[in-house]
Amino acid sequence: MHIHILGICGTFMGSLAVLARELGYTVTGSDQGVYPPMSTQLEAQGIGLMDGYRAENLEPKPDLVLIGNAMSRGNPEVEAVLNRNIDYMSGPEWLAREVLRHRWVLAVAGTHGKTTTTSMLLWILDQAGFDAGYLVGGVPQDFPVSARLGSSDFFVIEADEYDSAFFDKRSKFVHYRPHTLIMNNLEFDHADIFDDVEAIERQFHHLVRTVPSSGLIVRPARDVHLDRALAMGCWSGVQSTAIGSEVAHTTDWRAELLAEDGSRFMVVHHEQPVATVTWSQTGLHNVRNALAAIAAARHVGVTPDHAVAALCRFSGVKRRMELLAEINGVSVYDDFAHHPTAIATTLEGLRHKVGGEPVLALIEPRSNTMQQGVHQQALLSSAAAADHVIWANLNQLTWLPALVNAWSADPGQTVQHQVEDTVEALIEQTLAKISGPCHIVIMSNGGFGGIHQKLIAELERKYPA
């Protein structure tokens, strides 16, 4: 059987390609500007890639076309699929039918932390001897590919609330029918498809409706939007997580911080100390991610002490505060931040780790929601833990310079902000601000014009070994 995938270099669709290939199908795919890291992974799997969308990409005629949610009517390949009456479906529907059916699905949903928490949970199961299948919307450092079938009954999946396809506007995760569900958090995002946070709450409630009564939902104890989603109806067991005494009532799982940056904490289950996590990760968001992963793993039989031991060996996820280079005391990190909350928690974690050492953030507002200016009010304050912020206005957003100018005119603001329109200008301004050891965090959910390697090359030129 020949499966052709539109939008194959996206993390989700590319992972489907890997699974389909493992199932023995012939797999091809097309995308606009075939790009790594997914293109590299797919080529290594023997999957044929076509650059650009054309009707002739459908020759010879495939048996089935999987259409990514970035595709829309008017795309020449989409039009050819419809005109030629080629069988097609959304990626989530195919995944549910061909891979997830009859398996114990452990799904990780939420506005933030899905990829990292999914990777943590997968790593815990792997270290416990489970050969779990998985699909991660990123590249886990501890695994060679972003997806695999696995030989056990368990399948771990990052469960996205974004829509499934132009012909299926349900959230992807509604297809997955999890037995174990982590809901990390819920905030307004994806303004291109959701009118308000209530619409997202409704989709999360649809997900809750699919969890069986014998299933488990793991959630933070304090999240008003998750409260609302669950208040619409819940028929499964629910366990809550918290850090310290942030909630007045008792929670099922709690972390007691032993280091302010989150690099060391005690896991407490039903008020009984379990074990101490000492790891390379930082930030309270990662502490929350870890608690959720430990709770979910226990639901399938992994004891908390074994889960903690595994997390102490967890390497992290690419593009989540990934240290790219250290050059003459200058540390360069790559982070996938796509929302003010993600920016804030990431930079706060770094600040706790490095103390008073200078932190420079280079941030590209790239997501559809960010570019629409939906988060303007929270955007600049989200970088409060940095010393200096350079905003990349690569898409010529009219509101961004005005926002930064208004902020800079306030004499009470201590963090310096500026806007640059090109990658070259960003690099020039970054180099001008380096006067000694410091930490540079590059934040974007896209390629950011290749700034990562370009900046590292300039630093190597400035500070030859």
Mean pLDDT of 309-323: 87
| Least confident range of 193-202, 234-243, 287-296 | 193-202
| Least confident range of 184-198, 352-366, 388-402 | 184-198
Identify the CATH assignment for 322-462 out of 3.30.750.24, 3.90.190.20, 2.40.50.660, 3.40.50.300.
Answer: 3.90.190.20
pLDDT digits (tens, 9 = 90+) for 211-230: 999 999 999 999 999 999 99
- Amino acid 320: pLDDT: 79
- Amino acid 336: pLDDT: 82
Residue ranges of the chain assigned to CATH 3.40.50.720: 2-89
Residue ranges of the chain assigned to CATH 3.90.190.20: 322-462
- 398's CB contacts (< 8 A; 6+ apart) are none
Helix (H) / strand (E) element for 170: namely strand 168-171
pLDDT at 207 over 90: yes
pLDDT at 465 over 80: no
The rounded percent of the chain whose pLDDT value lies above 90 is: 70
Q: Give the residue from 388, 395, 394, 334 showing the smallest Cα distance to 360.
A: 388
In the CATH hierarchy, which fold is given to the domain comprising 2-89? Rossmann fold (3.40.50)
Mean pLDDT of 182-207: 89
Long-range contacts of 52-57 (CB under 8 A, 24+ apart): 53/6, 53/77, 53/78, 54/30, 55/79, 55/80, 57/4, 57/28, 57/30
State in Å, rounded, how far the first CA of the chain is from the last one. 53
Q: Give the residue from 216, 207, 394 showing the smallest Cα distance to 296.
A: 216
Which carries the bigger pLDDT value, residue 128 or residue 449?
128
Average pLDDT over the chain reads: 92
pLDDT at 375 over 80: no
Residue ranges of the chain assigned to CATH 3.40.1190.10: 102-311
In the CATH hierarchy, which fold is given to the domain comprising 102-311? UDP-N-acetylmuramoyl-L-alanine:D-glutamate ligase (3.40.1190)
- Amino acid 290: pLDDT: 97
Report the predicted TM-score, pTM, of the whole model to 2 decimal places: 0.83
- Cα gap 395→347, rounded to integer Å: 24
